[in-house]
Chain A
Amino acid sequence: MRIECATPRHGLAGPVRACLAISSDDANAPVGSATAWMGGAGDFESGTLPVAIEAVGQPASMQADGTGKGQDFMLEHGTLPAEEPPIYDTRITLNRVTHDVLDPMKGRPGGWWWGAFLAAAGALGIGAAIVALQLRVGLGILGLRRPEMWGTYIVNFVFWVGIGHAGTLISAVLFLLRQRWRTAINRTAEAMTIFAVICAGMFPLLHLGRTLLAYWLFPYPNDRELWVNFNSPLVWDVFAVSTYFTISLLFWYKGLIPDFATMRDREHRPWVKKIYTALSLRWEGTASGWVHYESSYGLFAAIATPLVLSVHSVVSADFAVALVPGWHDTIFPPYFVAGAIFSGFAMVVSLLVILRKAYHLEQYITLDHLELMNKIILVTSTIVAFAYLDEIFMAWYSENPYEKHIFIWLRFVGPYAWAGWLAVCCNCIVPMVFWFRRARRSLATMFVISLLVNVGMWFERYVIVVTSLAQDFLPSNWGYFGPTRFDIGILIGSFGLFFTFFLLFVRFMPTLAMAEIKAILRHPVGGQPSLQEKSHA
């Protein structure tokens, strides 16, 4: 490896800032492999490595399109390409980041926090009570019936898994796609993933007739010498969701380690300090440690990306593998993944709009960031709309009476038309408002739309799960699913669980990835800004 240290060509005043563009094979292997997963775009030849240390603000020396020649793939923790606008206000100092993120956690929580927490815990209590009742008397308390043996539990499962996807997408896919603005939202989004996957993972277990035997779904050595059926998409689910949860948790925790170290070093209460000391795992911040840390971060991003795509594909296989008209559909995996991104981003927007206000994080979670997210919502909305149209077209074009009955008649004309049209309105029509820039940048608008999107996506799953089962092949079997109050209560309970976790998270953990933000802060030319004090001054 050759390192070239160049003095500024243009003799700028002030300290020299270095920009290293590295494209060594070793250093970029994770990124390279990750990009290969994304479609084989990157093919990194090993070779000697030109290292250029150049002055900041020299446009000509940078690859403007960011794709060229395998360079510049580890920009996560590098300085910005000169032509890109800074992600954050250039006046923000390192110390201020620490303060801005950690100060809201100091002292007693405010009234809003307690109010929200009690509401969430109350909802969770409702859910827990219903679960207890259900375990005692049976699943009969729900609206399930023959033919609709799956109902709101599976709807909730798919819904929450979908919500969970946004976090991984933001932390992994946007990382691989070099979207630096993700640093503003990735911590919250990842936390959301964890909690959403917990909510999601609960439902397949609760919806078992014999929940206490749920461990039979895992292939563990047993005295029956009987394993599991690897043909079943439910076993795939077990593997996919548990892998997803594990990887997401590790990824999230990994990101938290340096921030826990920061918190450890700022904490004075001894027992709290002990906790953060334990959580930060003796993190020192050595440059050699950062090398491994960053490398494994990229590797996690690289494995999480195909994982996140596979998880929702597997979830969609629960349906697509079955022969039920309305489920048996090859479009399901991409359709489900797009829907998951759609609803997940909507959920992130809903949460961030509140969080940035409550924690005064407007400087970090800027309108620009939210607008970018709204654009993604808009894109995925059109994908979802395309999937709807595709389903309807295929049903019509195939002349299959069973498919036509479900996709056209039942969902849009028959007894479930209300749900079908609700999903279409919320998922395909309402997000079209985001074609207007003003709407994308209006907090109130995006908040309302993001909520509607999630309502719509819940009902989209309702339409998929419930209507397809309602009127399948033999007319004698047909039935109509009506959720009972327990069905609704358990949904409320799952939101309670989610928000209970989330509120605890914002209270005890850094809501922004401090180290990552610091790494891409762009200081104004001319040294440290004057408006901020140094922490040790």
Chain B
Amino acid sequence: MPSLRERPTLVAMFDDPEALLRAATILRTHNYAGLDALTPYPVHGLPEALGLKTSWMPRVTKTAFFIGAGLGFAFQVWVLGWTWRLNIAGKPFVPVPALMPVTFESGILVAGIATFVAMLIAVKLRPTTHYVPFDLALTNDRFALLVPGTAAEMGPIRALLEQLGAAEVRTVAN
């Protein structure tokens, strides 16, 4: 996944998501890889147009739910049926129906926290007090297409992008 700050990148700014989408689609047909975009909202169809993989998030959630629920159930069984067997209202030491709510809730809790943490990791989010965005408008109403490439490739791409309706094309060199 390309990042603006890791490789020399060409940034094409668009005012219009449709133009971005079309540019991305066309660049993909020209076999440009490692494309990414910066958008103020999730533009529909863009991941596919950029050739991004689908998210692995669901597997995290599913796994975490079953781990959480399993641990929750096991913990309850351990507490009621093993560490200290108390006669509570004459019920069995392991009253399975009564354990279901906590089992379920612990599954959900673990799944939710795991999903959130996984998202933070996947999107590389972490708290910071200093951050300089590439362009302030990118979280408002502009769209940027990021095309990684060497200096040599920059010229043709730039032309193509301008042809595809980019309002502005910048090069980020670092």
Contacts and interface: CB of A to CB of B under 8 A. Distances in A.
Given A19-B44, A230-B76, A287 B36 contact: yes
B119 A94 contact: no
Contacts of B19: 15
Nearest to B68: A243
Nearest to B20: A287
A251, A265, A317 interface centre (most CB from chain B within 10 Å): A265
A518 B44 contact: no
Contact of B48 (A20, A29, A240, A519): A20
Interface string A489-528: 0000000000000000000000000111011000000011
Interface string A285-311: 111111111111001101110110010
A193 interface: no
Interface stretch (A108-116, A273-281, A426-434): A273-281
Interface in A242-296: 242-243, 246-247, 250-251, 254, 257-258, 261-262, 264-266, 274, 277-278, 280-296
Contacts of A536: 137, 142
A281 B115 contact: no
A285 B139 contact: yes
B83 to A, nearest CB: 7
Interface string B90-101: 010001001101
Contact of B15 (A77, A254, A534): A534
A229 interface: yes
26 contacts: A3-B49, A16-B22, A18-B21, A18-B25, A29-B58, A33-B58, A77-B44, A229-B80, A230-B98, A231-B91, A236-B105, A277-B128, A281-B120, A282-B131, A283-B139, A284-B133, A292-B57, A295-B57, A303-B65, A303-B108, A303-B111, A304-B112, A528-B16, A534-B141, A535-B140, A535-B141
9 smallest CB-CB distances across A and B, nearest first, come from A295-B55, A94-B141, A20-B45, A78-B44, A26-B54, A281-B125, A236-B101, A292-B122, A287-B37
Interface of B: 1, 3-4, 15-16, 18-19, 21-22, 25, 28-29, 36-50, 52-55, 57-58, 61-62, 65, 75-76, 79-80, 83-84, 88-89, 91, 95, 98-99, 101-102, 104-106, 108-109, 111-113, 115-116, 118-120, 122-131, 133-134, 136-142, 146, 165
Interface of A: 1, 3, 5, 15-20, 22, 24, 26-27, 29-30, 33, 51, 53, 74, 77-79, 93-95, 98, 219, 225-231, 233, 235-236, 239-240, 242-243, 246-247, 250-251, 254, 257-258, 261-262, 264-266, 274, 277-278, 280-296, 299-300, 302-304, 306-307, 310, 314, 317, 514-516, 518-519, 527-528, 534-536
